[in-house]
Homo-oligomer: A and B are copies of this chain.
Amino acid sequence: MSRREEAKTFNRARICAAAESIIRSEGIDNLTMRRLAVVAGVSLRTPYNLFGSKTDVLIALLDEAVFKFTQLGLARADGVAIVGMLRALGQIETFFDSDETYYRGIYAAIMTSDHPEVRSTSVDRAIASARVLMAQAISNGELRADTDAQSLGRHLAITLLAVLGMWGSGFFSNRESMAQVRRAWLAVMLQHCTDTSRLMLAAAYDNPSDIGD
């Protein structure tokens, strides 16, 4: 990496760190580009050079969070894709719990920005992951062979992201969000399950986590 790129990377990191620090210590409402420039020790223009927009800075923070989450690794589920999928929900909840105001803040800020191109990348990523898992579930015999993994994966991913949108806007708690997704996921997967997995899924559906009032 050339020294120029090194400097850019360094400045990007400084700006991200400053943004995170401001959000943590002063609240996300006080994250303004002018304040960010001051705290990062950089001119007002530089974040625009290095990121493009305020939203892009926040996206960088979200990417860091996503990276941190993926580093946790998906809980092993003894090769049962469906269980892995459901466990991921619990992991998301735990992850959010660990730093709720921060994650919700950046998520909401991104969602309430009128940079719609943001969403499609994360949407595509989620859909791809879900499709892979559902294809595994089919080849594992957890889901019926006539199941359309593409369509099902897309449906499940959108379900998650749609609820996350409401979560970001503060409508309900981490737990409520995940319970909503869990219920929706289980119901849909029950429509495609084999006899092998039906009992487990049905039991999970009938034993809901707290969905809230």
For A184, give its contact among B111, B150, B184 (CB under 8 Å): B184
Contact B158 A180 (CB under 8 A): yes
| Per-position 1/0 for A157-174, Cβ under 8 A of B | 011011101100111000
Q: How far is the CB of A58 from chain B (nearest CB, A)?
A: 13
Q: A119-B169, A166-B162 are in contact. Are A187 and B180 (CB under 8 A)?
A: no
Contact A123 B171 (CB under 8 A): yes
Closest to A115 in B: B112
Q: A112-B111, A154-B211 are in contact. Are A184 and B180 (CB under 8 A)?
A: no
Copies of the protein in its oligomer? 2
Residues of B near A187 (CB, < 8 A) are 184, 187-188, 190-191
Kindly list 20 other residue pairs between chains A and B, CB separation below 8 angstroms, not including A119-B169, A151-B208, A158-B166. Answer: A112-B114, A116-B171, A119-B166, A119-B171, A158-B163, A158-B180, A159-B159, A159-B162, A159-B180, A161-B166, A162-B166, A162-B180, A165-B165, A184-B187, A187-B187, A187-B190, A187-B191, A190-B190, A190-B191, A191-B205
30 A-B pairs in the complex with CB atoms less than 8 angstroms apart = A111-B111, A111-B112, A111-B169, A112-B112, A112-B113, A116-B170, A119-B169, A123-B171, A151-B208, A154-B211, A154-B213, A155-B180, A155-B211, A158-B166, A159-B180, A161-B166, A162-B162, A162-B163, A162-B165, A162-B166, A162-B180, A165-B165, A165-B166, A165-B169, A184-B188, A187-B188, A187-B190, A187-B191, A190-B190, A191-B205
Nearest 8 interchain pairs by C-beta: A162-B162, A187-B187, A187-B188, A165-B165, A112-B112, A162-B163, A162-B166, A187-B191
Interface residues of A (CB under 8 A from B): 108, 111-114, 116, 119-120, 123, 150-151, 154-155, 158-159, 161-163, 165-166, 169-171, 180, 183-184, 187-188, 190-191, 205, 208, 211-213
